[in-house]
């Protein structure tokens, strides 16, 4: 009787476990992409990577500017690259 009761309790206590999927492969592959790097000037960025799809106006103090390219966005402080952010799902190969 105790075994049956224990089996019933265990059967009803089983829960579905879910977790977020880490995009480790995409992060590793993003390091292989050629994108503007920290400290690069706006002029060098445009010469090397071409004209962006859109240039946003500067915001704040210090002025932060964003340039949108097809697969990434580049953020500048004054005239220098702060960082480059890949668009979601952008990798070299899937």
pLDDT tens digits along 36-59: 999 999 999 999 999 999 999 999
Domain contains 64:
yes
Other CB atoms within a 10 A radius of the CB of residue 84 amount to 20
The domain total for the chain is 1
The answer to whether residue 92 is domain-embedded is: no
Q: What is d(CA 94, CA 92) in angstroms, rounded to the nearest whole number?
A: 7
| Global confidence as pTM | 0.66
> Residue range 60-64: average pLDDT?
94
Residue 93 domain flag: no
* Rounded Cα gap, residues 43 and 47, in angstroms: 6
pLDDT at residue 71 in the model: 87
Residues 6+ away with beta carbon under 8 Å from 72: 33, 35, 84, 85, 86, 87, 90
16-25 contacts at long range (C-beta below 8 A, 24 or more positions apart): 25/91
Domain limits at 17?
Answer: 2-86
Which residue has better confidence, 25 or 12?
12
């Amino acid at each position: 009787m105790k075994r049956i009761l224990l089996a019933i309790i265990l059967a009803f206590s089983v829960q579905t476990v879910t977790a977020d999927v880490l995009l480790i492969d995409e992060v590793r592959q993003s390091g292989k992409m050629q994108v503007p790097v920290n400290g690069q000037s706006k002029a060098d960025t445009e010469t090397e990577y071409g004209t962006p799809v859109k240039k946003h106006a500067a915001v704040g103090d210090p002025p932060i500017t964003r340039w949108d390219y097809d697969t990434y966005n580049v953020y500048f402080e004054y005239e220098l690259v702060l960082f480059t952010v890949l668009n979601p799902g952008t990798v070299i190969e899937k």
